[in-house]
Amino acid sequence: MLSTNPPSVGLVYNRRMGLRSLPLAFFALVAMATSSVPAVAQTSKPRFWLAGRYDGDRIIVFFDAVKFKGTVPRSARPLPIPATFGFLFQSELPTSYVAQFTRQAGVERFSAGDQYDLLLGDGRVATATITTPVGYVSDDEEDDPSYLGALAKVDGATTLLGTQGYYVLERHDSSADVLHAPGKAARLVEEPVRFDVQTQIAALLTERANIAATAEERRQIKSLALTLAVQAFRLADGELRYYARAEWSASDRPGAAPVLALAAWIVPHPKLHIAAVEGITSPYDFPDDLPNLLNVIDLGGGKTGIIADITGPGDNTLGLWEYQDGVDLNHMHLFQSLVMDE
């Protein structure tokens, strides 16, 4: 039976995640079925695109998956890797070369000087002006797509300071400042989650695990510590939600795959409960083996967007989903995903 005794806990600040990690030696967890996320959106062409901070006042965006088929000109200039992880190895492309792709059906037509709205994730909307066409060239376009995109300059030298580094770009909307009113928008909550709430979440994950755990799984994790990371975020209607990741691993085996790992979307009302579960996606060390929540964006019209990073064997995937209670990432509406070889 699950013990009701309070766990022994110790708090550690994780600089990489900006979260509080919570080692718990008391709890046990079952291995959950592996969950994978489609590499390419199954929906129609998105109105929203993933964007990342490139440097102090520029962002990078990839609009569409394309196949260059080995035609990228030699004059294409490799560019430095962006400040934001997940946007890698892009090159500046000649405008004349890009034009042959933007004329294709379904491909975003953009050019230098075009203005877009950049949704920063805290309710603010900035103007981003396209400056440079770029492309990401996959090592194997039959398995992983190449992408066509651009660098864009953001109005205001300090606009990107203090932001999460992962954004959403959309076509210019003159009413965006109303749709995304600061203080009322969907967003990540910057404050650490209260210790007592983290403890309750740890108990929830443990209870869920023990329902399905085998005797062998319980035996293996009995002496292992649990690492827990919890993020709070607000939906577009202001409702509070949590995303929690938990892992059991042997401290004497650095770099080894975790024994067990589990992530969950949690709703606090009418009482704290698990709404959906995410499984392990990669045999890497915590937190890379579970989907990593990077930002929460107010998309307007009551829609809450979540940007998550998923590490798989040999590649990294960024995705933009519309959050929905009760379902995992595999079943949320996917606006766009970017697959980058590591």
Tens digit of pLDDT for each residue in 33-87?
333 344 333 344 558 999 999 999 999 999 999 999 999 999 999 999 999 988 8
Q: Chain-centre distance of CA 74, in angstroms?
A: 33
* Contact criterion met (CB below 8 Å) for 204 and 272: yes
For the entire predicted model, the pTM comes to 0.83
**pLDDT tens for residues 228-239?**
999 999 999 999
- The pair of structure tokens assigned to 128 is 């981003």
The ranges assigned to domains in the chain are 12-37+188-341, 48-180
Collect the ranges in the chain with pLDDT lower than 70.
1-46, 174-183, 212-213, 251-256, 283-287, 342
Rounded to whole angstroms, what are the CA distances from 302 to 235, 270, 308?
Answer: 8, 21, 20
pLDDT at 208: 82
CA atoms of 273 and 276, how far apart (whole Å): 9
pLDDT at 191: 92
